[in-house]
Amino acid sequence: MSERELISAYQHGRMDRRQFIKRLAALGVSTAAAGAYAQVFATRAAEADIRRDEHGFFVTDSVNTTEYGDPSVPVIHPTNPAPGSQIIKRRPTISADIYDNQGESAAVVGIRKRKVRMRVDNKNIDGSMFSFTRVGGGLYKLAYTPASALFLGDHVVRIDVTDQGGKSAYALWAFTIAQA
């Protein structure tokens, strides 16, 4: 069964949580990370873009409507901790690269800073707590370091953005903090 078929079976109730975690583990995902993915994928619609990079799964989705001459949607790529990774640092810097392809009009280029949202373990992170920097060429960097140590175990991160043309996207991924 392919990864996409496995996720689809779980999302549509053809596989229970225990089976899903066991099969993910067979694909090389740690049991702890597989538990976090079970939480993530249980709540996601089947049409989300589910990717697996060298570290693990992450989910992205976007609202793709052409508005104000901007034909593209933002792209969010989790950078740290990597999706599915296991780390020991209790206060990791959680970061992502966000790319907004430039539309036809300079007026619609870029991400709306007021429309950047971050959640860690289902808790909203105030915009004043994370940095959001334009690097150039449509690339932005988002970074957040928790004020206090995170608990041992699985963590889920969600980042939502909206560009100047009104296009929205989000990325969702999980990582595990293990005992040192």
CATH of residue 30: 2.60.40.1220
The answer on pLDDT for 62 being more than 50 is yes
Burial class of residue 122 (count of CB atoms within 10 Å of its CB; 0-12, 13-18, 19+): exposed
pLDDT digits (tens, 9 = 90+) for 16-50: 888 888 887 787 776 666 776 776 666 554 445 55
**Domain of residue 137, residue span:** 3-177
Q: In this predicted model, which residue has the larger pLDDT, 97 or 15?
A: 97
Termini Cα distance of the chain:
34
- Give residue 11's pLDDT band: very low, low, confident or very high (50, 70, 90): confident
pLDDT digits (tens, 9 = 90+) for 118-173: 999 989 999 999 999 988 878 899 999 999 999 999 898 999 998 877 888 888 88
The pLDDT assigned to 112 comes to: 81
Here the tokens at position 138 are 């449509």
Amino acid of residue 133: T
The answer on pLDDT for 5 being more than 60 is yes
Amino acid of residue 51: R
pLDDT digits (tens, 9 = 90+) for 65-117: 444 444 577 888 999 999 888 999 999 999 999 988 754 444 446 788 888 99
The pLDDT assigned to 71 comes to: 53
Number of domains the chain contains: 1
The answer on pLDDT for 53 being more than 70 is no
The pLDDT assigned to 45 comes to: 44
